[in-house]
Chain A
Amino acid sequence: MSLLHWAVLSPFLLAIIVPILYKLFRQIHTGWFVLILPILLFTYFSRFISLTKQGDIIMESATWIPSLGIHVDFYIDGLGLLFALLITGIGSLVVLYSIFYLSKEKEKLNQFYVFLLLFMGAMLGVVLSDNLIVLYSFWEFTSLSSFLLIGYWNERERSRYGAQKSLLITVLGGLSLLGGIILLSIMGNTFSIRELIAQSGELMDHSLFIPALLLVLLGAFTKSAQFPFHIWLPDAMEAPTPVSAYLHSATMVKAGIYLVARLSPVFAESGLWFWLVSIAGLITLFWGSFSAIKQTDLKGVLAFSTISQLGLIMSLLGLGAAALHYDSFGENIYLAATVAAVFHLINHATFKGSLFMVAGIIDHETGTRDIRKLGGLMQVMPITFTVAVIGAFSMAGLPPFNGFLSKEMFLASMVNVLELNIFNMETWGVLFPVVAWVASVFTFIYSMIVVLKPFTGKLQLQLLDKRPHEAPVGMLISPIILASLVIVFGIFPNLLSSRIIEPAVASIQPSVAGPDFQVHIAFWHGFNPEVWMTVGIIAFGILLYKTLPKWQKITRWIPERISLNALYDNGVRGLDRSASSVMKFLMTGYIRTYLLSIFLFFILSLGFTLYWKDAFKLDTGNFARIGLYELILAAIIVIGSIAILFARSRLTSIIILGAVGYTISLFFVLLRAPDLALTQLVIETISVSLFLLCFFHLPLMASRKEERMTFKLNNALISIGVGVIVTLIALSAHSNKLFDSISNYYLENAYKEAGGKNVVNVILVDFRGLDTMFEITVLSIAALGIFAMIKLRLTGRKDKS
């Protein structure tokens, strides 16, 4: 256990203490106690910046399950540190914001901060783990704590729905990730990411490589809300706004991005990875930005914009994979895609965090998030408006904000795709910049919606629940800090480049980014195609925004009925229904049905085994000769058994059954088993009289209505099948005698050893006496059971009357 371990564990430990603090200090907002931790962690992690800048790696291990090769190994490199700083930095700001957002009188603050701290610890664990199993454990922990946070207002139906949906989808991905991890560990014989990266060359040719790749990607795509798994994210907006700002814009949804980036060195050699990641990213980018336009809820717009921006980062990571194949230029232009991805990841965290906080402020101060009701808030909330403008313009990719730079780099990477000549890129590659450009136009439009709809226009006081006014200062601190970061990173991007981005890119692309690799983000780099694209985006964006009411209907061209959400809902409902109908079909409650299935299974399994093992064998050599008496007795039994089936009255059945039983005892006589014959005779007599007793006590209605058993084809078939199967098995078993019987021993030793001449009895009481011991126990239990049933029933009746 090193300091780093304690750093990752500290949120969990604080989560234990939070409820105590909450109870002890009711008048102080619990958030203040919580706030200390992320700030401490942030300062702790920023100390590593200078180390990772030199390309150093900090590695700390502790044993967990050494016999399975599972160690809690944490290591800090550029990528892990970037995420750790995002998590703790934005975490501090979100906690600060939540102190003013959540009221200490009305809300269950203890629960909120416990969940939030669990999430923070889990997220730190995800990004700092070297061991894949540890990473997976923390991964599921983030799903779980996110579920708890989304359902924080659990008395609301929508919250519960959103929480369940996100849990189902992310856990689906989490489990497939586990599958991928296991396949990876089978291939590489280790759970350590770094050891896997070291042997990535050999992994490529392994037959499990493609399944592992697909499973890992499924995990990453569900977590990062990529198309078509993005549907949980808009519903997760039912969470309190600090949660949305933290989880669903800056951290958790980037866990998938992190995973893709982290495992890029393992998988990126493969063309499949390049295609899947970049195509999924582009589709998500386009679909997210397109769907964002039709939203009427402010957080809904932001949710879809998050989806779209995550798609953008994902597609850049996919393009970055091309760097491994194509570095004939002196300066590797595909490495620039990875740089853009990392840069945009930071930028997105800053501006989306601030935008969510703005949405929260608007919600908090006006009582609604519906952009059809909002308008003209510019005058009453000037500071919020400023923050919103900065965030939204950065999101749209306007200068001088940081979004402009990363958007330029994104467009540049997309244009550079055209020069790629691997994986048949020359034919379809042209779609990449086109889709990117169209999506950027949509991005511009929804960014304008976010900032212009609520803040400009007319203030409609009658639609609002509260009289809007500027938010308290405490609530404004965090968005202001984030907005100033947006500007700082926009104007001085190279603050980040050598400290954060270079080490991060070096850990995503270790084989390409050499030691002399340097990132230099230029604010202005001449009249490149991407500049003209940006100009086009702005021009078209303004044009389309102005005409928005005229064409907004087109965004609703997919009816709600066949949307992905409806597909999910119908899927869940259909699963429910089909499961219940299967249960209804199988579990009828009739013993007859269950017996049918038991016998059917019996026939099928035994019949299949007979056939499959080719076990049927008929050897007539060791058959005994059949005499006349046996024939007669067998005929009586057969006729009797068949007669029972067709007997009209129950009395006839009972008497025929008795006849069959007595014939069997005659068989025992014939086959020289006097003890059995005696016992069979007496027992048959007793059981027939018990049957008669039952018959006598039948309700009058039932005994009068005596009729023949009705014929049912499947019953007949199944009973014939059981008979045939048992006969076949008996014949084969008789023909397959592998060794002699042990009965000779008994015959020789019954008198010598046990002093008896009746071998059956000697076996019963001496050689195998324990069986008898427990058989008489069975009899005793039966007798006491009958006694208890009859006596207890009588007293029960007395009590009732």
Chain B
Amino acid sequence: MKQNDLILQTVTKVAAFVILLFAVAIFLGGHYSPGGGFVGGLMTSAAIVLLLLAFDIKTVTGILPIDYKLMIGSGLLISSLTVAGGLVFGVPLMTHVYHYVDLPLLGHISLHTAVLFDLGVYLVVVGVTMTIIQTIGESE
């Protein structure tokens, strides 16, 4: 009997976007409200896992042609460059700077190097969870 996942797949198409948006919101809002790179990353991978459940690995890799191991590496690179960045300006490691700017549409907002660091965390977390799940999923 051929299985029909129409409802699941349709709901997924909507829900995955909602989850992804929520993840991005949690990630960006981390400095002011609960959240941050870690939870944001986990949420993002939850969205991808939902896709994996509704479709299959091949389809999902078609949609998101990402090498997650590369993602881990780039995340680590971004974080460590942010950490080391202070050295260029002659300040101790891990010194963050921030500045408030007024942007059109977004309004009064702060640009903070800590977000860059958090981005590295985010990428690593997504990469790690997806690598683990994909590897286990592909294994026999």
Q: With A779-B128, A783-B132 as given contacts, are A675 and B83 in contact (CB-CB < 8 Å)?
A: no
Among A308-316, A676-684, A709-717, A726-734, the stretch that binds chain B is: A676-684
* CB proximity to A under 8 Å, residues B21-49: 26, 30-39, 42-43, 46
Q: Is the CB of A786 within 8 A of B94?
A: no
Among A90-98, A142-150, A535-543, A756-764, the stretch that binds chain B is: A756-764
Nearest CB in chain B: distance from A74 CB, A? 60
Nearest CB in chain A: distance from B95 CB, A? 9
Chain A residues within 8 Å of B54, by CB:
none
Q: Is the CB of A783 within 8 A of B42?
A: no
Does B129 interact with chain A (Cβ within 8 Å)? yes
Nearest CB in chain B: distance from A84 CB, A? 68
Nearest CB in chain A: distance from B104 CB, A? 21
Chain B residues within 8 Å of A683, by CB:
42
Among B7-15, B55-63, B114-122, the stretch that binds chain A is: B114-122
Q: Is the CB of A776 within 8 A of B129?
A: no
Chain B residues within 8 Å of A773, by CB:
79-80, 83, 94, 117
Nearest CB in chain B: distance from A46 CB, A? 76
Q: With A682-B46, A790-B135 as given contacts, are A756 and B117 in contact (CB-CB < 8 Å)?
A: no
Does A570 interact with chain B (Cβ within 8 Å)? no
Q: Is the CB of A679 within 8 A of B38?
A: yes
**Interchain CB contact (< 8 A) of A776 among B31, B79, B136:** B79
Provide the bound-state CA to CA distance between A766 and B82, in Å. Answer: 11
Q: Is the CB of A756 within 8 A of B112?
A: yes
Nearest CB in chain B: distance from A681 CB, A? 9
Q: Is the CB of A776 within 8 A of B76?
A: yes
Pick the most buried of A782, A783, A794: most chain B CB atoms within 10 A of its CB: A783
Q: With A761-B30, A782-B128, A783-B132 as given contacts, are A794 and B139 in contact (CB-CB < 8 Å)?
A: yes
Q: With A776-B75, A783-B131 as given contacts, are A770 and B32 in contact (CB-CB < 8 Å)?
A: no
Provide the bound-state CA to CA distance between A66 and B124, in Å. Answer: 59
Provide the bound-state CA to CA distance between A770 and B96, in Å. Answer: 12
Q: With A761-B30, A780-B72, A794-B139 as given contacts, are A686 and B129 in contact (CB-CB < 8 Å)?
A: yes
Chain B residues within 8 Å of A755, by CB:
31, 98, 110, 112
Does B125 interact with chain A (Cβ within 8 Å)? yes
Chain B residues within 8 Å of A754, by CB:
96, 98, 114
Chain B residues within 8 Å of A678, by CB:
26, 34-35, 39
Closest B residue, CB atoms, query A675: B34
Provide the bound-state CA to CA distance between A678 and B117, in Å. Answer: 20
**Interchain CB contact (< 8 A) of A758 among B36, B43, B80, B121:** B36
Chain B residues within 8 Å of A791, by CB:
135
Q: Mark A782-793, 1 if CB is under 8 A from B, else 0.
A: 111011001100
Q: Is the CB of A776 within 8 A of B139?
A: no
Closest A residue, CB atoms, query B76: A780
Provide the bound-state CA to CA distance between A754 and B98, in Å. Answer: 8
Chain B residues within 8 Å of A776, by CB:
75-76, 79, 120-121, 124-125
Nearest CB in chain A: distance from B39 CB, A? 5
Nearest CB in chain B: distance from A561 CB, A? 66
Does B91 interact with chain A (Cβ within 8 Å)? no
Chain B residues within 8 Å of A794, by CB:
139-140
Q: Is the CB of B39 within 8 A of A758?
A: no
Does A460 interact with chain B (Cβ within 8 Å)? no
Does A189 interact with chain B (Cβ within 8 Å)? no
Q: Is the CB of B32 within 8 A of A758?
A: yes
Q: With A766-B96, A773-B80, A779-B124 as given contacts, are A761 and B131 in contact (CB-CB < 8 Å)?
A: no
Q: Is the CB of A770 within 8 A of B94?
A: yes
Does A137 interact with chain B (Cβ within 8 Å)? no
Provide the bound-state CA to CA distance between A780 and B78, in Å. Answer: 14
Does A693 interact with chain B (Cβ within 8 Å)? yes
Does B93 interact with chain A (Cβ within 8 Å)? yes
Closest B residue, CB atoms, query A757: B32
Provide the bound-state CA to CA distance between A760 and B38, in Å. Answer: 12
Q: Is the CB of B31 within 8 A of A770?
A: no
Provide the bound-state CA to CA distance between A761 and B37, in Å. Answer: 9
Q: Mark A559-580, 1 if CB is under 8 A from B, else 0.
A: 0000000000000000000000
Provide the bound-state CA to CA distance between A755 and B135, in Å. Answer: 39
Q: With A770-B83, A780-B72 as given contacts, are A787 and B135 in contact (CB-CB < 8 Å)?
A: yes
Q: Is the CB of B42 within 8 A of A679?
A: yes
Chain A residues within 8 Å of B26, by CB:
678
Q: Is the CB of A787 within 8 A of B80?
A: no
Nearest CB in chain A: distance from B140 CB, A? 8
Chain A residues within CB distance 8 Å of chain B: 674-675, 678-679, 682-683, 686, 693, 754-758, 760-762, 764-766, 769-770, 772-773, 776-777, 779-780, 782-784, 786-787, 790-791, 794
Chain B residues within CB distance 8 Å of chain A: 26, 30-39, 42-43, 46, 69, 72-73, 75-76, 79-80, 83, 93-94, 96, 98, 110, 112, 114, 117-118, 120-121, 124-125, 127-129, 131-132, 135-136, 139-140
Extra pairs beyond A675-B35, A757-B33, A764-B38 (18, CB < 8 Å) = A678-B26, A678-B35, A679-B42, A758-B34, A761-B31, A764-B36, A765-B96, A765-B114, A765-B118, A772-B117, A779-B124, A780-B73, A782-B128, A783-B69, A783-B132, A784-B69, A786-B136, A794-B139
7 shortest A-B CB distances, which residue pairs? A674-B34, A756-B31, A783-B128, A755-B98, A776-B124, A783-B131, A682-B42
Can you list 6 contacts pairing A with B, beta carbon distance less than 8 Å?
A675-B36, A755-B112, A761-B118, A776-B121, A783-B69, A786-B135
